[in-house]
Amino acid sequence: MNLPNGIEAHPMAEWTNRHENFTQRLTSSACFKLRIPNLPTSQEQYRQTTANFQWLIRYGIDHNVRLRALGKGWSFSEVAVTDGGLVDTMALRQSFALKPAMVAPAYQTAGRTADNLFFTECGMSIVGLEQQLEPRNKSIRASGASNGQSIAGALSTGTHGGAFRFGAVPETVVGLHLVTGANKHVWLERASYPVASAKFTDWLGVTEVCRDDELFNAALVSFGSFGFIHGVLLEVEPLFLLEDFSAYRVPYGPAVQRLMTHLDLTGLHPWLPLPLTDSTRQPYHLTIIINPHQFDVTGANPGHGVFVQLLFKAPYRPNYPRRPSPAPGFTYGDSTLGLIETVLDHLGNLSAALVPALVNRLYPLAFENTNGTAGTMSETFDNTNIRGKAASAAIGIANHEVPRVLAEIQALNKHTPFPGVLGLRFVKGTRATLGFTRFPVTAVLEFDGVEGKTTRKFLERIWARLEELGIAFTLHWGKINFNLTPALVRRMYGNAAVNQWLGCRQRLLDAPTRRVFTNPFMERCGLDQDPAPRPNPVV
């Protein structure tokens, strides 16, 4: 088969995700790798890649095979893969700064500047973006608190970080170039927030420009099912530092509870001397980590408190106390977590006795003392280097529900010990229609631990308990979420939002193209359906 300039055959009979908790069988002959084509100008290269995406859609339709762009493979769920062919887009890393001629006048008259916009191809990693931006004295506005993902992958699954006054990765995106058919590719941005000028969309050569809030918000978190995301327009900002204020053991008393439920930082002074009156420093990121096996819900035992980390944004300066380099020596092996899983799965009831001791032993190893240090985004949220098999699930809840949910988890953990730790991050709500950070301030409660029966049993019980108590929650699309069903998705997001998302997908993709971009995960969640018809207005 003769392939266009920039497409290579990339046969894969199966593929395992980065955290090794699932293996997806594939149609080997339908797997491809895209590279930046060999052409003289960046525009010709970019447009040829658009044509290559269209060629792939035509291939998918003609061969009746499903396709999905493959990111860095960080998702723990099958949301980002398909049972047909995977298209590796990780080598697509063209990027562009914009001059004012490329930017909508309305954007600039609102006091915004073109030099805070950055356009990049889908394969660009977060760390790659940082390497492009930081030497230009610019910074991304949010990451997933780790920088190994691709920008399109992090966006499409709603990767969140902990920017409690800003939001998740989708909030950094102001325009999307989507390839939505064999003869169609569109520029998508909000009508309420126009960014691109006609010169920019002409440069892309799009067949359609869509300025539509509903479409844009639906496309932001769409797991690669709204066509191929070719380009992403990001809003960035002047380079800044994140200053670290963290304490290993803070009693779970009123101060921490007010921090969680009202984002009130004032009670933390005995443990964290925060610069609350310094107008040059603004709170940005909040993380709380809890060892459920050493967690005193009464707050009486300071030894069984929680880890609290607050990062404050400050203007960049060249001299700052940098984070320590990782200590040399040994680390746990690639098979360690898998080995623990096997042991726990085979121990039966004995694992309940073993888990707390195991977690208590390993918990301190997860921490580096970074209190008092500072760093750019790339230095603060660098690569998460988990080795081998791991499990992670995350629920989104309204932040005022956190103490109630933690009490439930603590009670459950006494009966079914969780082989892992809990992380809490706080994120400003998203405008993405199916963004899982959907509450005004979403507390993202993460369960990070060993993959295996024990973990899955624990998660199932927590999810069931939250439903039983009527506590509204969402599940991270890219983490363990094996209980998702069409009914649960609709309970989480509401019928209106789900129908709106389905309707937008139908508006952008015709039926043959929708089939190419539908995967088994979407079928399981009922997201492959046509939207329910809207009731006719009463005349």
Which of 394, 392, 395 shows the shortest CA–CA distance to 419? 392
Q: Min. distance of Cβ 107 from another protein in angstroms?
A: 13
316-322: which pairs have CB atoms within 8 A and are 24 or more residues apart?
Answer: 316/137, 316/238, 316/239, 316/240, 316/241, 316/376, 317/241, 320/241, 320/243, 320/373, 320/374, 320/375, 321/372, 321/373, 321/374, 322/373, 322/374, 322/375, 322/379
**What tokens does 308 get?**
């609290």
Is 44 a binder of another protein (CB under 8 A)? yes
**Which residues lie below 8 Å from residue 301, measured CB to CB, with a gap of 6+?**
251
425/458 Cα distance (integer angstroms): 20
**What tokens does 295 get?**
């967690």
Residue spans of alpha helices (H) in 246-365: 254-262, 336-347, 350-362
| DSSP conformation class of 166 | T
State whether residue 36 is helix, strand or coil: coil
Is 107 a binder of another protein (CB under 8 A)? no
User: For another protein, which is the closer residue by CB, 101 or 110?
Assistant: 101
Is 71 a binder of another protein (CB under 8 A)? yes
User: Residues 305 to 344: which contact another protein by CB under 8 A?
Assistant: 333-335, 338-339, 342-343
Q: Min. distance of Cβ 57 from another protein in angstroms?
A: 19
Q: How far, in Å, are 347, 386, 452 from residue 333 at the CA level? A: 22, 10, 18
Q: Which stretch binds another protein (CB under 8 A): 17-25, 59-67, 158-166, 279-287?
A: 17-25
Q: Angle, nearest 10°, between helix axes 350-362 and 336-347?
A: 150
Q: Which stretch binds another protein (CB under 8 A): 5-13, 416-424, 429-437, 526-534?
A: 5-13
Is 15 a binder of another protein (CB under 8 A)? yes
Is 443 a binder of another protein (CB under 8 A)? no
> Which of 91, 191, 411, 464 contacts another protein by CB under 8 A?
91
Pairing of strands 441-449, 420-428: antiparallel
**Residue 214, H or E segment:** helix 213-220
> Which of 203, 316, 320, 482 contacts another protein by CB under 8 A?
203
User: For another protein, which is the closer residue by CB, 26 or 441?
Assistant: 26
Q: How many residues bind another protein, per CB under 8 A?
A: 68
Please provide residue 209's backbone torsions phi and psi, each rounded to the nearest 5 degrees.
-110, 120
Beta carbons of 27 and 84 less than 8 angstroms apart: yes
Is 238 a binder of another protein (CB under 8 A)? no
Q: Which stretch binds another protein (CB under 8 A): 8-16, 223-231, 488-496, 497-505?
A: 8-16
Pairing of strands 282-290, 306-315: antiparallel
> Which of 25, 42, 113, 407 contacts another protein by CB under 8 A?
42
Is 297 a binder of another protein (CB under 8 A)? no
> Which of 6, 84, 144, 148 contacts another protein by CB under 8 A?
148
User: For another protein, which is the closer residue by CB, 93 or 141?
Assistant: 93
Is 105 a binder of another protein (CB under 8 A)? no
User: From the CB of residue 464, how many other CB atoms can be counted at a distance below 10 Å?
Assistant: 12
Is 16 a binder of another protein (CB under 8 A)? yes
206/230 Cα distance (integer angstroms): 11
Q: Which stretch binds another protein (CB under 8 A): 91-99, 172-180, 360-368, 519-527?
A: 91-99
Is 77 a binder of another protein (CB under 8 A)? no
User: For another protein, which is the closer residue by CB, 206 or 502?
Assistant: 206
Is 90 a binder of another protein (CB under 8 A)? yes
Pairing of strands 391-398, 240-250: unpaired
> Which of 7, 12, 154, 250 contacts another protein by CB under 8 A?
12
> Which of 7, 36, 358, 359 contacts another protein by CB under 8 A?
36
Beta carbons of 140 and 120 less than 8 angstroms apart: no
Which of 415, 164, 422 shows the shortest CA–CA distance to 292? 422
Q: Min. distance of Cβ 149 from another protein in angstroms?
A: 10
Is 88 a binder of another protein (CB under 8 A)? yes
Q: Min. distance of Cβ 14 from another protein in angstroms?
A: 8
Is 84 a binder of another protein (CB under 8 A)? no
Q: Which stretch binds another protein (CB under 8 A): 366-374, 384-392, 455-463, 521-529?
A: 384-392
Is 352 a binder of another protein (CB under 8 A)? no
Is 261 a binder of another protein (CB under 8 A)? no
215/196 Cα distance (integer angstroms): 16
Beta carbons of 109 and 53 less than 8 angstroms apart: no
Q: Min. distance of Cβ 435 from another protein in angstroms?
A: 24
Beta carbons of 289 and 423 less than 8 angstroms apart: yes
Place of tokens 């005995």: 270
Is 41 a binder of another protein (CB under 8 A)? yes
**Binding footprint of another protein on the chain (CB under 8 A):** 10-18, 20, 33, 35-36, 41-44, 70-74, 88, 90-91, 93-103, 114, 119, 123-125, 127-128, 131-132, 136, 148, 199-200, 202-203, 205, 333-335, 338-339, 342-343, 345-348, 350, 383, 385, 387-388
